[in-house]
Amino acid sequence: MRFYQFWLRFRKNRAAEISFYCILVFVSLALLAPWLSPYDPFALGQRPFLPPQSGHLMGTDDLGRDTLSRVLYGTRVSLMVGVLAAATSLIIGTAVGSVSGYSGGFVDELLMRATEYVLVIPRFFLALLIVAMMGTGITKIVLVIGFLDWPEIARVVRAQFLTFKEREFVLAARAMGLKNWEIIFTEILPNAIPPAIVVGSFLVARAILLEAGLSFLGLGDPELISWGMLLSDAQERIWFSMWLAIFPGLAMSLLVLSINLFGDGINDVLNPRLKEK
Amino acid sequence: MAKDGSVKSYILRRLLHALPLLLCVVVFNFTLIHMAPGDPIQSLIGEFPAPEAYVEAMRSAFGLDKPLYVQLWLYITNILKGDLGFSFYYRQPVLAVIVERVPATLQLMIPAVLFSALAGLLLGIFSARKPYSLSDNAISSFALLGYCLPIFWLGQMLMLIFSIKLGWLPSQGIKTLGAELEGFKAFADRLSHLFLPALALSIRHVAINVRIMRSSMLEVSYEDYITLARSKGLDEKTIVARHMLPNALLPVVTIIGLDIGFLFTGSVLVETVFGWPGIGRLMYESILKRDYPVLMGTFLITTVLVVLTNLIVDLIYLWLDPRVKYGRK
């Protein structure tokens, strides 16, 4: 019942509803990539540099590989990195924000200083540096992005903790003799999660762009196909085979746009007061 | 405006505040050298076939046979002396390699910042004048799109349309190579090379500035002093220029300051697309060449630049808003 109400309110935002369906399509494409791809994405041997045509809807690349199949497989990497990296950020940010907001004092000061530092440093450069030196596995990329993009979550969660920790129901819980960790987990955290989820949904989009940026600079996982890597390959060949650049970029833009609109939609439902109008 | 003395002490305090951050970056680089797979010496000189004598010299310079804390101390003192290591690929000290590239990056970033600030402000003001009108919706959609497009793909598409298909603008580099141009022609040549990369770099920031400016203007428009200004019978132009704009500007200035880091990110990608010989392109080349000292040096230098720009932005904020007094806290 609660889910149904959520859905009804979410659907009032048409753009968010459409983008939700878009995301569903992307997820299905990613899951079904091995069955939907007309060719093996790694297989050589088709004619190279074919423009889009029937049989190769998105053309072929310099080694005669089918671009459509490669874009489909790229969906998997982008979605996976986006979701897992954002989940990592969500966990770290929630932990830092909860401890910071609940304990206050010196611990709070220290953690917030650290958060500020992570916000200030050029994070993309740091990610580049780490991946370049530590190696380019997909797990490392997910962790690096996740460990660099948590400050916004931490700030949001901390703000929630500051608001809630002096409220009556928390004071009552303390009077009943609940331990600190029980109060954090059962009383305050459930109230801090919704705004964190909203920020987290935007982080998915940002992580996808970050991973694509890394792959574009040659720091993607060489074992996997990602959209950034496709665009990097297309860069040198854009003069005579522009389709190699157009399609992966279109797919990525559409996915990132959908996720952002979807995040806006969730925000409208969860924080109705913040909505203008 | 606060008194000069307090501004000075404020700047000093802020710089002191930034020191631990810079120390963290240095210690981080040091940790990375030792965490990276393989011999730390490889991280210090990059993956090139260096002569044995050079490798040995580096080993003793960084005290790699000594305990870790001695190594860390040597590393920090070297950096404090301005020695960020030596790039074996460029056969130059890292600092010199980076400093050589800074002007090109600034030539790209400064026009991009100015353009995105100006365009963002104008579109934001225009958008906020009639909320939810056709023009407002069009601008908001553009802003959303500009925020979502991957910056390097946007660069590729701009290049595809304006250089390859239409042939209007050059696609690569900072100027025409080999052409001996002088005076105005040289300037025009530079400008034509700058146009596409700067546009690609600024779109995302235009989008962000529009959104902030719009909501900031709307927020201000509900203030009592605006109602008062209206009831005094001031015309709309004066109200916007004198009463709304100065107050609405503040959040935008903050955001522009926070964006500087993202601007560096963007410039790495845009410089790679357009073959622009700045810091970003240097990073890309250093990744390909596995020139780790340059990568670490660039990270340190850009952090310093970001800290300094944030300070400058805060000073602008102080100048814009006389209510803000930077006290002890």
d(CA A1, CA B47): 60
Q: How many CB atoms lie within 10 A of CB B118?
A: 13
Q: Would B36 be classed as within a structural domain?
A: no
Confidence band (pLDDT; 50, 70, 90) for B328?
very low
Residue B236 has pLDDT above 70, yes or no: yes
CATH number at residue B159: 1.10.3720.10
Q: Tell me the residue length of chain A.
A: 277
Residues in A touching B303 (Cβ below 8 Å): 120-122
Closest residue, chain A, to B21 (C-alpha): A117
Q: What is the pTM of this model?
A: 0.88
Cβ within 8 Å, pair A134-B152:
no
Is it the case that residue A86 has pLDDT exceeding 60? yes
In a domain, B56, yes or no: no
Phi first, then psi, for residue B86 (nearest 5°) are: -125, 130
HSE-CB for B293 with a 13 A CA cutoff: 26
- Helix, strand, coil content of chain A in percent (nearest 5): 75, 0, 25
| Cβ partners under 8 Å of residue A225, min gap 6 | A41, A42, A70, A73, A74, A77
The answer as to whether B6 is a domain residue is: no
For residue B28, being part of any structural domain is answered with: no
Helix (H, G, I), strand (E, B) or coil at B92: strand
Residue B290 lies in a domain: yes
How many domains in chain B?
1
Neighbour tally for B128: CB within 10 Å:
23
Backbone angles phi, psi at A53, to 5 degrees: -165, 175
- DSSP conformation class of B176: -
Q: How far is it, in rounded angstroms, from Cα B307 to Cα B24?
A: 13
Mean pLDDT confidence for B101-124: 90
pLDDT in tens, A122-133: 888 888 888 888
Which tens digit of pLDDT belongs to each residue from A186-214? Answer: 888 888 888 888 899 999 999 999 999 99
List residues bridging with A195 in a β-sheet.
Answer: none
Cβ-nearest to A242 among B36, B160, B264? B160
Residue A269 pLDDT > 90: no
- Tokens 């780490």 label which residue? A130
Residues of chain B positioned with their CB less than 8 A from the CB of A257: 144-145, 148
Q: B269 and A216 in contact by Cβ < 8 A?
A: yes
What pLDDT sits at residue B325? 59
Percent of chain B with pLDDT over 90: 6
User: Which is more confidently placed, B40 or A250?
Assistant: A250
Q: Could you tell me the two tokens for B23?
A: 């120390």
**Nearest one of B84, B127, B74, B319 to B240, comparing CA atoms:** B127
What amino acid is encoded at A232 in this protein?
S
- Window 150-189 of B, Cβ < 8 Å to A: 150-153, 156-157, 159-160, 164
Mean pLDDT, residues B151-157 taken together: 91
Residue B152: inside a domain = yes
Give dist(CA B46, CA B286) in Å, integer. Answer: 9
**Domain span including residue B247:** 101-320
* Residues B183/B142, Cβ–Cβ less than 8 Å: no
The helix (H) or strand (E) run that includes residue B87 is strand B86-87
When pLDDT is averaged across residues A100-116 and rounded to a whole number, the result is 89
pLDDT band at B2 (very low <50, low <70, confident <90, very high): very low
Given a contact cutoff of 8 angstroms between Cβ atoms, the answer to whether A145 and A177 are in contact is no
For residue B126, what are the contacts with CB-CB under 8 A and spacing of at least 6? B135, B139
pLDDT computed for residue A97 by the predictor = 92
- At B59, the amino acid letter reads R
CA dist A141 to A83, A135, B33, Å? 12, 9, 18
- The rounded distance, in Å, linking the Cα atoms of B107 and B137 is 33
Q: B164 and A242: CB-CB below 8 Å?
A: yes
Q: A126 touching B, CB under 8 A? A: yes
In-domain check, residue B227:
yes
Please determine, for residue A43, whether its predicted confidence score (pLDDT) is greater than 80: no
The span from the CA of A68 to the CA of A57, in Å, is: 7
Q: Is A252 on the interface with B (CB under 8 A)?
A: yes
Nearest to A88 by CA among A150, A139, A152, A154: A150
CATH class of this structure's domain A2-32+66-275: mainly alpha
Confidence band of A258 (pLDDT split at 50, 70, 90):
very high
What is the distance between the alpha carbons of residues A103 and A91, in angstroms, rounded to a whole number? 18
Question: B290 vs A120: CB contact, 8 Å cut-off?
Answer: no
A18 in B contact zone (CB under 8 Å): no
A116 pLDDT tier (thresholds 50, 70, 90): confident
Please report whether residue B302 resides in a domain.
yes
Q: How confident is the model at residue B324 (pLDDT cuts 50, 70, 90)?
A: low
Mean pLDDT estimate for chain A = 86
Residues in chain B with CB shorter than 8 Å from the CB of A234 are 156
Interface residue A147 vs chain B (CB under 8 A): no
- Position B28, amino acid: F
Reported as a single tens digit per residue, the pLDDT across B8-56 is 888 888 888 888 888 888 888 888 887 777 777 777 777 677 777 777 7
* Three-state secondary structure call for residue A224: coil
Assess contact for A96 and A83: CB atoms under 8 A: no
Helix (H) or strand (E) holding B237: helix B236-238
Q: Where are the domains of chain A?
A: 2-32+66-275
Residue B223 has a pLDDT of 82
Averaging pLDDT over each range in B153-157, B168-172, B282-286, which range is the top one? B153-157
Q: Write down the residue that tokens 């770099």 correspond to.
A: B201
Comparing B219 with A98, the larger pLDDT belongs to A98
Distance from CA of A185 to the nearest CA of B (A): 32
pLDDT at A142: 93
> What are the CA-CA distances from residue B80 to residues A152, A156, B88, B300 (Å)?
32, 37, 21, 12
User: Per residue in B43-84, pLDDT tens?
Assistant: 777 767 777 777 777 777 777 777 778 778 888 888 888 777
Report which secondary-structure segment, H or E, holds B93: strand B92-93
